[in-house]
Amino acid sequence: MAVSERKKGEWFLFSGTFLVALLPVIAVFSFANLSPLISLGWSTELAALFLGLVVLYRKKWHEIANPILWKYIFFIALFISVLTYGLFFLGLEKTTPGNAAVISLFEVFTSFVLFNVLRGERMSFEYKIGAFLMVAGALIVLVRDFSGINTGDLFILAATLCAPIGNLFQQKAREVASGETIMFLRSALSVPFIFLLAFVFNERTSFGDVGIALPFLLINGIVVLGFSRILWIEAIHRIPVTKAQALASIAPLFTLLFAWLLLHQVPNVWQLSAVVPLILGTLLLTDHIKFRPRAPRR
């Protein structure tokens, strides 16, 4: 039986979410030797190299000549790679990973406003309840870590305002080019601007420090900023962005797992209790639970 495009989108989404959940943990490891923007800059450059090889292997270079694609790429790079990730990495240095994850969930709301309120993208009653449960579950996971608003928290909040705009342009770009081409151009175009921001913020580093942090940069660059973002673009090409963003709210649960395995931080009772609303929200958002039966086809 052929797999529907919606099911493919959900599979891409969950696979990418599992990988991107590594970001807070791996980023913190890299901060031991590198400043946030320097870490982001090198990670993005490695992502561009990896994605360039993918584009070459899949023979997609001809897509780069499409002038319609370039109309979107600038805004994608600006709102996603430079603003969203730049603000996130800066905020992660000044706040806790728990705070960052909680505040990042506000992107579910900002995506809802942009894609549903302003653009009229479908959001059923079940989807709304599912989105609420996903956010509620993630808040339960991280409530013990929330310690109030500081500068870092404000940076993370600002990042959630930028991401939906970038996702809008990524949706449009995916209609004219493949996900790997979009990600390659987005990453390559972003690198000089990220390092320029690092210069403005007076962040400096040595090649020796980069070499020490290289394993973490490779994971963030190739796996998180590269492969997982291709999966995200393929997902939002097939399912609504608001639904995808709500489903991605399960990421904190994966982050807890990675923190347990890599940082030896054992989850507490509050965190484990969040599994119930997270699973229910996932089932609602993937149409496995329906409050109202579908009308029979005639």
> What pLDDT shows up at residue 292?
64
Question: Is residue 253 assigned to a domain?
Answer: no
Residue 41 lies in a domain: yes
User: For all residues of the chain together, what is the average pLDDT?
Assistant: 83
Task: Look up tokens 């805004």; give the residue.
Answer: 75
- Token pair 């090409």 is found at 237
Is pLDDT larger for residue 150 or for residue 224? 224
The residue that leads in pLDDT, 234 or 97, is 234
pLDDT at position 60 over 60: yes
- 164-220: pLDDT as tens digits: 899 889 889 989 998 889 989 999 999 999 999 899 888 888 889 999 999 999 999
pLDDT at residue 122 in the model = 66
Here the tokens at position 276 are 């119930």
- The Cβ of residue 276 has, within 10 Å, a number of other Cβ atoms equal to 12
Place 297 in a pLDDT band, splitting at 50, 70 and 90. very low
* % of the chain residues with pLDDT over 90: 29
Report the pLDDT value the prediction gives residue 154, as an integer from 0 to 100.
84
| Residue 129 covered by a domain | no
**pLDDT range class, residue 1, cuts 50, 70, 90:** very low
Instruction: Give yes or no for residue 148 having a pLDDT over 70.
Output: no
Specify the pLDDT at position 156. 86
Overall number of domains in the chain? 1
Q: Is residue 140 part of a domain?
A: no
On whether residue 192 sits in a domain, the answer given is: yes
Instruction: Encode pLDDT of 241-261 as tens digits.
Output: 777 877 887 887 787 788 888
pLDDT at 40 (0 to 100):
92
Residue 184 within any structural domain of the chain: yes
Q: Is the pLDDT of residue 132 over 50?
A: yes
Range of the domain at 174: 5-123+146-245
> What average pLDDT does the segment 225-252 reach?
82
| 254 lies in some domain | no
Global pTM?
Answer: 0.77
CA-to-CA distance for 257 and 90, rounded, in angstroms? 24
How many secondary structure helices (H) and strands (E) does the chain include? 16, 0
What's the CA angle centered on 240, arms 239 and 242, to 5 degrees? 135
pLDDT tens sequence across 109-131: 777 777 766 666 666 788 778 77
The answer to whether the beta carbons of residues 63 and 178 sit under 8 Å apart is yes
Whether 264 is covered by a domain: the verdict is no
> In the prediction, which pLDDT does 271 show?
64
pLDDT at position 68 over 60: yes
What local confidence, expressed as pLDDT, does residue 119 receive? 63
Per-residue pLDDT, 145? 56
On whether the CB atoms of residues 247 and 66 are closer than 8 A, the answer is no
Label residue 217 left, alpha or beta by phi (over 0 means left) and psi (-120 to 50 means alpha): alpha
